[in-house]
Amino acid sequence: MKWIGIGAGLLVLVVLSGMAWIRLAPDDAERWHRLPASVSDADMEGGVMRVLPGDLAELDRIIRAEPRTRVLAGSVAEGMVTYVTRSRVFGFPDYTTVAQRGGDLVLHARLRYGKSDMGVNKARVERWLDALRQG
């Protein structure tokens, strides 16, 4: 019985350490503040890409109003911004890079940990884009 208690205690310690790492791990702007060479409308297991007409300043205003979201790198003046949005409970980071290319916006939202985001990035981006379309 004593070994079961020790094992359970170690398991709890490992889980809590993992949760702390996910929430507190530094965000590497050099790694995440970039876009793929080619971006087109695509749904992926761990994210989404979109290209549509729009204004970066307007979308930036909408994104900054999103709970648990902050700017990681870039600015509207630079023409490209990368945002970090963390999940409510565990603090999983998702990265969204948005760039102005002429009259178009190019977006790439993706997860950091795991393989599937269960559609979270797509739902978030679609919500932002709906707000942008509504003006």
Determine, yes or no, domain membership for 3. Answer: no
- Compare 63 and 118 and report the one with higher pLDDT: 63
15 domain residue, yes or no: no
CA distance to 11, 29, 67, per residue, from 23 (Å): 19, 16, 16
Structural contact between residues 121 and 109, judged by C-beta atoms closer than 8 angstroms: yes
87 within 8 A of 80, measured Cβ to Cβ: no
User: Can you tell me the distance from the alpha carbon of 104 to that of 133, in angstroms, rounded to the nearest whole number?
Assistant: 13
Confidence of residue 9 (pLDDT cuts 50, 70, 90): confident
Q: Is residue 4 part of a domain?
A: no
Q: Is 11 domain-assigned?
A: no
- Number of domains the chain contains: 1
Q: Domain limits at 36?
A: 29-134
Q: 92-109, pLDDT tens digit by residue?
A: 999 999 999 999 999 999
pTM of full prediction above 0.85 = yes
Domain annotation covers residue 14: no
**pLDDT tens, residue by residue, 109-123:** 999 998 888 899 999
For residues 105 and 52, what is the distance between their CA atoms, to the nearest angstrom? 5
Domain with 123 in it: what CATH number? 3.30.310
